Chain A
Amino acid sequence: MSAASPRFKTRLFTAIVVATNVAGNSFLSRGMQSVGELVSLSPVPYIRALFNPWVAVGTSLLIVWLLSMMALLSWADLSYVLPVTSVAYVLVALVGRFVLHEAVSAAHWAGILLIMTGVSLVGSTNPNTAGKHRPEARS
């Protein structure tokens, strides 16, 4: 891994961040539908929701998402990582269309096109513009 090119490392971690985000949110959403309405200031109903298997798997995936996001942000700009990982929205829409057979409106297709154009624009910029002047970076 240490021999991998910076570009490959950034692409790989972007893919992990996107995949765990989409899968985690899908499991969480599926679980919350069976848990029912949850608007409470008490932590008890939230903790109880975590015992729902869908919510538990979703939460575990979102923990992997958080850790891979942290690793990615240790070398890549926030203003690079956030737009590039928005590919997740496109993936959610495509899963809805081709797996769940939901209708995708013209506006949604336009949104998908805008996101992909934006992602390729940001993806062609240098991922790391703020790290160079931070000499405390450890090897």
Chain B
Amino acid sequence: MRWLLVWIIVLASTAGNVLQSLGMRHHGEIRDFRPGALGRAAAALVRSRYIVASVVAMAISFFAFMALVSIAEISFAVPVTASTYILETILAKYLLKEQVEAKRWAGVVLVAAGVGLLTV
């Protein structure tokens, strides 16, 4: 049961993050933090297909995470999601067209390994 939940969390949170990045890039940089401008940004974002899909994916991941922490230690629940770093960096490079230079790749691998070590 706990590994099924881990898979749901990994796939849903990866999809959620990639769609969120896609939606926010599409919207453009948020520069104006006055309430009126933030309201207009929110109104535009709730109509974005990417953002709506990302919120659905994140909600699935969130409730699966709630279920997981109710049956497993948080020290198990949090670090198993480390595998998403590699998957998401690959998708960021090829799908989101980000320039993942060698230094960034090295950093991502170190972070994923470090998070993995926290489970031991």
Query: Which A residues are within 8 Å of any B CB, using their own CB?
Result: 1-2, 25, 28-29, 32, 35-40, 46, 49, 62, 66, 69-71, 73-75, 77-83, 86, 89, 92-93, 105, 107-108, 110-126, 129-131, 133-134, 136-139
Contact = CB atoms under 8 A, between A and B. Distances in A.
17 contacts: A1-B33, A37-B71, A38-B67, A39-B1, A74-B24, A74-B29, A79-B104, A82-B17, A111-B120, A112-B118, A118-B107, A118-B114, A122-B108, A124-B103, A129-B99, A130-B96, A138-B29
Given A37-B71, A46-B63, A62-B62, A137 B29 contact: yes
A115 B31 contact: no
Contact of B70 (A38, A80, A117, A119): A38
DSSP majority for the A interface? helix
Contact of B104 (A70, A121, A138, A139): A121
B33 A74 contact: no
